[in-house]
Structure 1
Amino acid sequence: MHHTKHGGKDGIRGYVQSLPKYITLCERNYLRALKVLPEEEVGARRQIKIGTMDFFILIESVEKYTTDIKITQQHSLSNHLGLFELAVRLYHDAKVAEVIQHNYHQRVKPSYGYPNPSMHHKDEKYQLNAFLGDWLSACAESGRVPLNWDVNNGLV
């Protein structure tokens, strides 16, 4: 279904319309992130295995209204993939989570659609947070927390 818009500049109108979608994504990511966080104290860390990959979620800072976490991949099977690192801020008053820093450009390339390879997509912010959402969903669905993580809780 394709609807034609009347009046207004398509670019601006399109951007304004995508904002609610972006906010919804960030709200969903906040809820997803809460499910996989270790206890909220600085330095707390949780290991999550997805397939053969080991990821870590580290609590970097805890403030009154925000919590900063860093998601890293410990090692990769092939060197050319490089390490994965994503910094995410949880805003507790607004109940949204947003990517604030990343280093995986060389690895994950959303379709930029620009002739200049160094230019980033105007929807890059959305793509990044959509990627975070996919990753958090994968953690919930297929991520395994190694048994030794809860070694003090009488599981082992």
Structure 2
Amino acid sequence: MTVQRKAGYIQSLPKYLTLCERNYANVLRILPEQQSRGASRLLDIRHERYQVDIEQTAKYTTDICITQVRGAIAGMFTPPMNVRIYHDARVAEVVHPDYHSRIKPTYGYPNANMHQKDEKYQVNAFLHDWLTFCISHGEAVLDWDCGSDLV
């Protein structure tokens, strides 16, 4: 009698990189005009307000934090999203707020912290959905740069 082991979750790297490339193209559209440390921008989306703060800048990366300032329902706010933008690779991904810790690509399931098997993909898919929502509702200014290969 042979016992078969169930295969674990394996993340699709091409699918993940495509998602991060789309996030890069969209996150550039909501950045403050002045892209230096401490710059911020307010976004009004329907009855909610978000603030995009540039926390760190380096030659090839920019770290931003997206925070909900005002919600449609009093007292209900979404947690802040910390996003690292890699300009050389043209990708953007959600990172752990404590930069020394990180979101793992996969988690065993079940686990003590109740992470999903594909937690990293899901938080970045949420960023993609949120950015798409911002842009589709016309509240984020679209700075079209036809020479950047993003259009």
Q: The TM-score by the shorter chain falls in which range?
A: 0.7 to 0.9
Q: Give the TM-score normalised by the residue count of structure 1.
A: 0.71
Offset, 1:83: 4.6
Structure-1 residue corresponding to 2:74: 78
The aligned runs of 1:7-156 (5 Å cut-off) are 10-11=7-8, 15-16=10-11, 18-38=12-32, 39-76=34-71, 77-79=73-75, 81-101=76-96, 118-144=113-139
Note if contact 1:55-1:72 (Cα within 8 Å) is conserved in structure 2.
Answer: yes
Offset, 1:45: 0.9
Q: Give the TM-score normalised by the residue count of structure 2.
A: 0.73
Note if contact 1:47-1:145 (Cα within 8 Å) is conserved in structure 2.
Answer: no
Mapped partners of 2:56, 2:138: distance in 1? 24
Mapped partners of 1:57, 1:71: distance in 2? 5
The alpha-carbon distance between structure 1 residues 141 and 91, as it changes in their structure 2 partners (threshold 3 A), is same
Deviation readout 1:90-127 (Å, 9 max, x if unpaired): 0111111010136xxxxxxxxxxx66673211201000
Alignment identity in percent? 50
Note if contact 1:58-1:69 (Cα within 8 Å) is conserved in structure 2.
Answer: yes
Note if contact 2:29-2:140 (Cα within 8 Å) is conserved in structure 1.
Answer: no
Note if contact 1:45-1:56 (Cα within 8 Å) is conserved in structure 2.
Answer: yes
Structure-1 residue corresponding to 2:147: none
Deviation readout 1:105-153 (Å, 9 max, x if unpaired): xxxxxxxxx666732112010000000001111111114259xxxxxxx
The alpha-carbon distance between structure 1 residues 83 and 137, as it changes in their structure 2 partners (threshold 3 A), is closer
Mapped partners of 1:83, 1:131: distance in 2? 12
What SS does the aligned partner of 1:88 have? strand
Note if contact 1:45-1:58 (Cα within 8 Å) is conserved in structure 2.
Answer: yes
Where structure 1 has 5 or more consecutive residues not aligned to the other structure, the ranges are: 1-7, 103-113, 147-156
Note if contact 1:61-1:67 (Cα within 8 Å) is conserved in structure 2.
Answer: yes
